[in-house]
């Protein structure tokens, strides 16, 4: 696995490893020293324990432990460089990272209460315990980015990289598709908005006369992520919530209930649970605005007409996107972006099943009929799907897969840059590794002359 990938995985998973490590106690000893930073055997064993749990393996693992040690050695060398460079991480950066990771783990556990009960610590105690670790991880990330910040590959380097791959090692590329869309989102009528606001106003009145906000949220809120938790969202910082929602939430007094707030998601009432500096924890009740069946049918008919114009060559798909689509991607040809790769290419297995079903029946350059969809804010809409490109399974080649090969070449060059950097820094940095790991086959030469 490439060094850059290992770094990213380490930054994402190490917090999880640290938390889960409390399940298994390790008798510690120092197994390596990098500058002023030590590596304990528990650092390696805790990661290996997590790896075993996730992979379902039992016993063995010497080579895996060696890889893990080398990865930690690399992190410590990056951290040492960050300290030499006086890298500063702000309290806001630490808090935001901490909150994001804790929200993930709390969501996995089901609730904040279950999380705290399982680990026997409050969320605030966790934050205090892991603050230094998060700060160090962010410093490592800064150092890593600085090393490869200006690394790029030229077209000639991409071609040279590809030519150097042995013929029998050229990767097999699965079938991929590129898909465009034209979205028609029906407007929500004024009558619908007034109806929703009346319902929410009644709920607010019940809360203000003594009924539990949390109970009201469980019974009536249409936010699936928070309704079962009494509407509680957990701590969020500025810039992480809808602007309109955030503006009200940060002005509330503890326990106070807001007036009705409209956002892209619908209409809310908000109750402040707690505020800590630039972070708030609130409850909310969300009622979503709904499109009327008549307006939805009109959107479908509208797109039927657009599809007819494309099929009769009255206009191209690209022209139709610019002229008729409501999608945020209209200025980029209406192309869908694969969130896993950041590109327009999708393996069929990565597609939403509904999209896959429609696209499977299309020829290249063909547009579908209107397909019902749900927008990011949960509203019903229709869209046309357009098959721009479909490739068959094949060995990678420069004509069809240039961008993929370019990514491979860039990753390879970044890995070489890291290798050269480690080679230079290892000579100048005090590094000692326990004899227990002297037989490891490391990628880098960590052992220096005594």
Written in H, E and C, the secondary structure of 208-250 is: HCCCCHHHHHHHHCCCCCCHHHCCEEEEEECCCCCHHHHHHHC
Q: How far apart (Å, rounded) are the C-alpha atoms in residues 11 and 72?
A: 11
pLDDT recorded at residue 278:
78
pLDDT recorded at residue 170:
95
SS (H, E, C) the chain: CCHHHHHHHHHHHHHHHHHHHHHCCCCCCEEEEECCEEEEHHHHHHHHHHHHHHHCCCCCCHHHHHHHHHHHHHHHHHHHHHHHCCCCCCHHHHHHHHHHHHHHHHHHHCCHHHHHHHHCCCHHHHHHHHHHHHHHHHHHHHHHHHHHCCCCCCHHHHHHHHHCCCHHHCCEECCEEEEEEEEECCCCCHHHHHHHHHHHHHHHHHHHCCCCHHHHHHHHCCCCCCHHHCCEEEEEECCCCCHHHHHHHCCCCCCCECCCEEECCEEEEEEEEEEECCEEEEEEEEECCCCCHHHHHHHHHHHHHHHHHHHCCCCCHHHHHHHHCCCCCHHHCCECCCCCCCCCEEEHHHCCHHHHHHHCCCCCCCECCCEEEECCCCCEEEEEEEEEEECCCEECCHHHHHHHHHHHHHHHHHHHHHHHHHHHHHHHCCEEECHHHCCCCCCCCCCCCC
Query: What are the tokens at 86?
Result: 């006086």
pLDDT recorded at residue 323:
95
pLDDT recorded at residue 3:
43
pLDDT recorded at residue 56:
55
pLDDT recorded at residue 240:
80
> What residues form DSSP beta bridges with 390?
177
pLDDT recorded at residue 78:
95
Domains of the chain with bracketed CATH: 3-153+411-437 (1.10.4030.10), 173-186+292-395 (3.10.50.40), 190-287 (3.10.50.40)
Q: How far apart (Å, rounded) are the C-alpha atoms in residues 196 and 289?
A: 7
The answer to whether the CB of 261 falls within 8 A of the CB of 239 is: no
> What residues form DSSP beta bridges with 179?
387
- The closest of 285, 243, 289 to 381, measured between CA atoms, is 289
User: How do the pLDDT tens digits run along the chain, 450 residues long?
Assistant: 344 444 444 444 455 545 554 444 546 789 999 998 999 988 888 888 878 776 655 555 678 889 999 999 999 999 999 999 999 999 888 888 888 888 778 777 777 777 888 888 887 788 888 889 999 999 999 999 999 999 999 999 999 999 999 999 999 999 999 999 999 999 888 888 999 999 999 999 999 999 999 999 999 999 887 898 899 988 887 778 889 999 999 999 999 999 999 998 899 999 999 888 778 889 999 998 888 899 999 999 999 999 999 999 999 999 999 999 999 899 999 999 998 888 899 998 889 899 999 999 999 999 999 999 988 777 889 999 999 999 999 999 999 899 899 999 999 999 999 999 998 998 899 999 988 888 888 888 787 554
pLDDT recorded at residue 57:
56
pLDDT recorded at residue 13:
45
The CA dihedral of 430, 435, 439, 445, to the nearest 10 degrees, is 10
Cα atoms in the Cβ-side hemisphere of radius 13 Å centred on 6: 18
Residues with Cβ within 8 Å of 312's Cβ and at least 6 positions away in sequence, in order, are none
Query: What are the tokens at 73?
Result: 């050695």
Own/partner pairs, 154-158, CB within 8 angstroms, 24+ separation: 157/409, 157/413, 158/398, 158/402, 158/405, 158/406, 158/409
> What residues form DSSP beta bridges with 271?
257, 283
Query: What are the tokens at 347?
Result: 């393996």
Q: How far is CA 375 from CA 184, 290, 317, in A?
A: 10, 12, 21
Q: Rounded to 5 degrees, what are φ and ψ at 345? A: -85, 135
């Amino acid at each position: 696995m490439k060094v850059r990938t290992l770094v990213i995985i380490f930054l994402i998973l190490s917090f999880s490893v640290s938390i889960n490590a409390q399940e298994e106690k390790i008798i510690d000893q120092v197994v390596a020293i990098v500058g002023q930073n030590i590596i304990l055997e528990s650092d390696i064993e805790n990661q290996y324990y997590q790896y075993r749990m996730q992979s379902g393996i039992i016993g063995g693992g010497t080579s895996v432990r060696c890889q893990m040690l080398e990865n930690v050695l690399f992190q410590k060398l990056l951290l040492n460089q960050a300290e030499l460079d006086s890298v500063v991480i702000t309290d806001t950066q630490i808090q935001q990272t901490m909150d994001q990771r804790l929200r993930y783990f709390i969501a996995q556990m089901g609730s904040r209460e279950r999380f705290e009960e399982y680990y026997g610590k409050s969320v605030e105690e966790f934050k205090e315990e892991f603050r230094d670790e998060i700060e160090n991880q962010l410093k490592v990330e800064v150092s890593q980015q600085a090393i490869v910040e200006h690394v790029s590959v030229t077209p000639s380097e991409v071609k040279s990289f590809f030519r150097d791959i042995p013929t029998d090692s050229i990767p097999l590329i699965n079938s991929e598709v590129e898909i465009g869309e034209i979205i028609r989102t029906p407007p929500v009528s004024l009558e619908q908005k007034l109806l929703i606001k009346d319902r929410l106003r009644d709920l607010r009145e019940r809360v203000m006369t003594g009924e539990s906000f949390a109970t009201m949220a469980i019974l009536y809120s249409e936010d699936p992520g928070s309704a079962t938790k009494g509407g509680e969202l957990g701590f969020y910082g500025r810039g992480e919530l809808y602007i309109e929602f955030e503006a009200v939430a940060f002005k509330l007094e503890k326990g106070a209930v807001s007036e009705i707030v409209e956002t892209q998601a619908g209409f809310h009432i908000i109750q402040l649970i707690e505020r800590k500096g630039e972070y708030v924890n609130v409850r909310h009740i969300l009622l979503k605005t709904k499109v009327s069946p008549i307006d939805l049918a009109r959107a479908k008919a509208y797109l039927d007409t657009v599809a007819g114009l494309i099929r009769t060559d009255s206009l191209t798909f690209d022209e139709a996107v610019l002229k008729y689509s409501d999608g945020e991607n209209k200025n980029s040809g209406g192309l869908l972006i694969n969130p896993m790769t950041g590109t327009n290419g999708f393996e069929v297995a990565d597609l939403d099943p509904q999209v896959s079903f429609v696209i499977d029946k299309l020829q290249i350059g063909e547009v579908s009929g209107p397909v019902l969809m749900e927008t990011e804010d949960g509203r019903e809409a229709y869209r046309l799907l357009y098959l721009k490109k479909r490739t068959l399974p094949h060995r990678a080649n420069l004509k069809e897969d240039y961008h993929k090969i370019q990514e491979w070449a860039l990753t390879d060059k970044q890995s070489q840059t890291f290798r050269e950097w480690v080679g230079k820094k290892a000579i100048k940095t005090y590094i000692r590794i326990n004899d227990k790991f002297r037989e490891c086959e490391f990628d880098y030469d960590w052992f220096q002359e005594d």
